[in-house]
Amino acid sequence: MIKKILIANRGEIAVRIVRACAEMGIRSVAIHSDADRYALHVKRADESYNVGSDPLAGYLNARQLVNLAVETGCDALHPGYGFLSENAELARVCSERGIRFIGPSAEVISRMGDKTEARRSMIAAGVPVTPGTEDNLKDLQDALSEAERVGYPVMLKATSGGGGRGIRRCNSKEELEQAWPRVISEATKAFGSADVFLEKCIVNPKHIEAQILADSFGNTVHLFERDCSIQRRNQKLIEIAPSPQLTPEQRAYIGDLAVRAAQAVGYENAGTVEFLLADNEVYFMEMNTRVQVEHTITEQITGIDIVREQIRIASGLPLSVKQEDIEHRGFAIQFRINAEDPKNDFLPSFGKITRYYAPGGPGVRVDTAIYTGYTIPPYYDSMCLKLIVWANNWEDAMDRGYRALDDMHLHGVKTTEVYYQQILKNPDFRSGVFDTSFVDTHPELTNYSTKNKPEALALAIAGAIAAYAGL
């Protein structure tokens, strides 16, 4: 069994992994830049080490991270999500140094991280993919030729892309010509590769993804699906499990496809297979070879601790559950509370959190690394917490979400909480029938008055908590 884990990440996912380690009797080692020296994951881990003054370099140096794991007596490394979580070199260096990488093998990461290679693997496995190129595009002329063959609109994508970056929709030849240098530039800067490919654009699909777990004994299961259709510029905002839009037959079909996809590439550990659903047709989009930001809602509806299962699998243990034993109950919704101003085109709002009061009550979970007095640095993602709610049915889950958002008090930075309340009140959302065009087709949702949550109320709540804690 793994005894000590270096967590090669920061923020709320690092805190999440620390908690799993604590429950399993495993020592946790945190890393931090100078900008993160006061971060919560640093305070919560058993040990912590500075990886440099640069806000990003230390989190992105695979060999330095693995060397630190060895020096501190760790026998495993958990990459979390983002940073090097889908970096084959990190997994490869871990293997070379005798450190267990809590994720799939370097070979599988490379295979699924290369979007064109992933498409070829899925085609061979009989998993439906969107029409497009099976090889990387040679140049702009090649892209124009393929677009004519596939038919506009098309999606120009970075082969090594992810997280909504390195991707552009092109509705015409002119737009493709304009997008080509931008995507090449963005792909090179973000992923270190100028390789791009092209797919038919599935207009206004539903974005459905399936969570899978696979061990080294040949056992692969799915934990049902999540609906990630509420997104802006390919960035997810609200996620739901299970999808309120699927029939039982569609749910079973997508789950089976996800298992087939994982087995086809010899997948091991936790992963997510993402699909597009349009006109009752399902298309493979990509596979994320890591734990997802939204793994929380799958945990809420199944009762399965995904991070714990990740650690068990990396320890060489079999899955703790079989497919026939996995059930889902109720609905869970996750709100990514971002430090952004929806009324100002979602402009980031970094700064000091002057007061923070977390929501609570039945069916409410908060995953975060913020606290009163913490300064959100401008170098990282703008998400400051994940608010997760669960209830027995869709209506109750939405109502609980609205109440929990109202219950939360976060001062000092602008956030997306009130914007999400507008979504929860919208009849199209409440109907449970929506697609990836929802945000773009509902611009009126940003026309709200600033919620009246006086600083005095937050101060009173904080004072009451402090007084109680001192008893």
Helices (H), 192-227: none
Q: Distance of alpha carbon 398 from its chain centroid, rounded?
A: 21
Contact 31/58 with Cβ under 8 angstroms? Answer: yes
Question: How many CB atoms are closer than 10 A to CB 192?
Answer: 8
453 has which bridge partners?
Answer: none
End-to-end CA distance of the chain: 41
Q: Which long-range contacts (CB under 8 A, 24 or more apart) does 179-182 make?
A: 180/140, 180/143, 180/156
The single residue listed with the structure tokens 């997306």 is 416
- Cβ atoms of 211 and 270 closer than 8 Å: yes
Q: Where are the alpha helices (DSSP H) in 224-305?
A: 248-264, 295-302
How far from chain centre, in Å, is Cα 136?
Answer: 26
Q: How far apart are CA 358 and CA 408, in angstroms?
A: 5
Please say if 119 is a catalytic residue: no
Q: Which two tokens stand for residue 250?
A: 């569609």
Sequence-distant (≥ 6) Cβ neighbours of residue 461 within 8 angstroms: 357, 409
The H or E element containing residue 465 is helix 455-469
Residue 244 has which token pair? 């309120």
* Residue pair 241/229 in contact by the 8 Å Cβ criterion: no
> What is the three-class DSSP state of 330?
coil
What b-and-e string marks burial along 45-61, b requiring 16 or more CB atoms within 10 Å of the CB?
beebeebeeebeebbeb
Q: Which of 109, 86, 83 is nearest to 13 (CA)?
A: 83
CB 137 within 8 A of CB 197: yes
Number of C-alpha atoms within 13 angstroms, CB side, residue 309? 30
Question: Exactly one of 290, 336, 355, 365 is catalytic; which is it?
Answer: 290
Helix (H, G, I), strand (E, B) or coil at 92: helix
Asked if the bond preceding 131 is cis, omega within 30° of 0, the reply is no
Residue 403 tokens, joined: 């109440």
What is the residue whose two structure tokens read 């929506």? Answer: 434
Q: Catalytic residue positions?
A: 290
